[in-house]
Homo-oligomer: A and B are copies of this chain.
């Protein structure tokens, strides 16, 4: 085995930075363990405690714990390009940058009174947070969390809207919806101190969440106040919102809606989109090209999250209270349920390993995260966690629209 740091003098090379550091590190006994990759890390939100567990998905194991992260109900996370840092968006307006390697909070700011989620720009330099109060999107330097600017969601003189459903799209852009205004805004942040905002008006009443497809092409907003969804083709020369899937999830025998489904709980699987039929024990299937309805699948309860295995061959579904102890697996070609399991009380979230060989499932009221083999459906590990909710792996750093 050879080991040669490149110490030649070619202009423009920042030679040997990591290699030199590694050489120094290896002089420090025991430090080798710290020289690890970060591609297989992730985090589990412990909602009640305001803490996260840092996990390694190769072993699979809990590696460390980071506390004092504030109110983490409905918290979500995005990751730095190098997959070392997590950015956590708390409901209390807290934005925390956590170093997953050293298990410490790098920086933490309370950036608003009440926030709902965030995103990181395609080049990894800008963090955007969608706020309820004050209504708008705030931009931060991803390195330091220094504020860059605010896009106030002022849709009429002096009147601001709550913002929801924010997602990154290519070209240092973010797309989000204005709940009170019924608008979708596309913010080009090539100049992050002065974003150029395109406003799409009259997209429908009360958009409550939004998502983009993995290509960044299609943005969908769920409408609380109307039948159907708003859709924007971001590849169009002049993007505009149109109503799709009118009648979406409506039927004769409507059930009470226990929980608004997350739009992020949609699945794109091959040529199909799978989405929750609101208030019904059904998964709605749409053709991903025409966006027309292409079928319905009867399931165990009201779907909350439908998540495609990364290859799209299967989609896993979890349900609203009181039927939230169960997970079902759908064959996305045959469009039927092929497997069912009952992990335990209050199944809240699922995250697949990047190429989909395993899935992690949080079972809140069992204080446990279970890991399953997605081919055999066998449980391969149980990890203790206190009231676990969201699970997020660092490979999200490399995906569009997370």
Query: Measuring CB to CB, which residues of chain A are less than 8 angstroms from any residue of chain B?
Result: 1-6, 8, 10-28, 30-40, 53-54, 57-59, 61-68, 79-85, 100-108, 122-124, 168-172, 190, 215-217, 235, 270-271, 289, 309-313, 333, 353-358, 374-375, 382-384, 394-395, 397-400
Nearest-neighbour CB distance to chain B for A39, whole angstroms, equals: 3
Count the copies.
2
Known contacts A30-B24, A355-B398; is A215 also within 8 Å of B35 by CB?
A: no
Q: How far, in angstroms, from A22 to B308 measured CA to CA in the complex?
A: 36
Q: Is the CB–CB distance between B216 and A311 below 8 Å?
A: yes
Q: A5 contacts which chain B residues (CB < 8 A)?
A: 64-65, 103
A286 to chain B, nearest CB (A): 15
Partner of A18, one of B8, B18, B28, B36: B36
Is there contact, CB below 8 Å, between B10 and A384? yes
Q: Is the CB of B58 within 8 A of A311?
A: no
CB distance from A222 to the nearest CB of B (A): 23
Cα A339 to Cα B395 with chains together (Å): 31
Residue from B13, B30, B83 in contact with A21 in the complex, judged by beta carbons closer than 8 Å: B30
Across the interface, which residues of B come within 8 angstroms of A59, CB to CB? 14
User: A4: which of B6, B66, B169, B171 is its contact (CB, 8 Å)?
Assistant: B66
A102 to B66, CA, bound (A): 27
**Contact (A355, B122) CB under 8 Å given A39-B39, A40-B81, A375-B190:** yes
Asked if A64 contacts B16 (CB within 8 A), the reply is yes
> Which B residues touch A172, using CB under 8 A?
357, 375
In the complex, what's the smallest C-beta–C-beta distance from A384 to chain B, in angstroms? 5
Nearest residue (CB) in B for A53 is B6
The answer to whether A3 and B105 have CB atoms under 8 Å apart is yes
Residues of B within 8 A of A383 (CB): 12-13
